[in-house]
Amino acid sequence: MKNGDAIYSYVERKMIDSNTNKITFDPNRHKKNDIFTVSDLLKKILLYGSIILIICGFTFYPTIAKHNKKTQDFIVEISSIVHESNDIMNTIITEYNNNNFSTDYKTSLQNKLTILQSNNLDDYTTSKYGTLTIATTQILNNTIDSINIILYSSTADSYNSGALNANLKSYKDNIDIYNKSLFQFFDDNGIFYKINSDGSYTYNL
């Protein structure tokens, strides 16, 4: 049986009209669209491309987010250590020049020492963080050594002055290494940053 462009077999009959007892067919059921345009191709590419992007997004976004969070945590932690160390070293220089070795001052330094020693960079041991971790640890050690010099001293004599000056020189050298390593870290990891006129910096992860 032929109906237009399509040939239908007996099993493809759709229904019998109860009023006419005629067999009716869907004339478009088996028509083939032989025209395939570039537009059709582009639509399929966009459709499949969108599906792939969505799947990749769900697959890789958690990993990227976790990676960014660890990097963010690392930068915050080392920045905090350096900021605390700077405050402590400036205080030590000022109070040493004032010949202050009071009990209250030493108690304050002891509390700060406890906080400094609670910092732990063991979670950042891979080569990605290597140079920055080493520089930050050296800054931490310089600060701890300077605190201990004050804690075990009672006056500003030549021995203590020599020890503090040597420690301060090492501290400044490590600060320079830290700054260079930090900006290199930003460059290596594609992190946009800006150095402000006062020497501080901002970054966008």
What are the tens digits of pLDDT across the range 29-42?
A: 545 555 556 666 67
What is residue 101's predicted lDDT score, i.e. its pLDDT? 95
Phi first, then psi, for residue 33 (nearest 5°) are: -90, 100
CB atoms inside a 10 Å sphere around CB 81: 19
Global pTM reads 0.66
What is residue 129's predicted lDDT score, i.e. its pLDDT? 87
Tokens 């990749």 locate to: 56
Instruction: Kindly compute the dihedral angle of the four CA atoms of residues 173, 174, 175, 179, in this order, to the nearest 10 degrees.
Output: 110
pLDDT band at 172 (very low <50, low <70, confident <90, very high): very high
Q: Which is higher by pLDDT, 169 or 122?
A: 169
Do you know the residue count of the chain? 205
**Does the pLDDT of residue 126 top 70, yes or no?**
yes
Tens of pLDDT, residue by residue over 45-55, are 777 666 666 66
Cα(177)–Cα(132) distance, rounded to whole angstroms? 8
Find the mean pLDDT for residues 165-194. Answer: 93
**Does the pLDDT of residue 113 top 90, yes or no?**
yes
Q: Using alpha carbons only, what angle is made at residue 92 by residues 96 and 170, rounded to the nearest 5 degrees?
A: 110
The percentage of residues in the chain with a pLDDT greater than 70, rounded to a whole number, is 69
Question: Which of 30-34, 49-53, 81-85, 185-189 comes out lowest in average pLDDT?
Answer: 30-34
Element (H, E) at 6: strand 6-7
The percentage of residues in the chain with a pLDDT greater than 90, rounded to a whole number, is 46
Cα(1)–Cα(7) distance, rounded to whole angstroms? 6
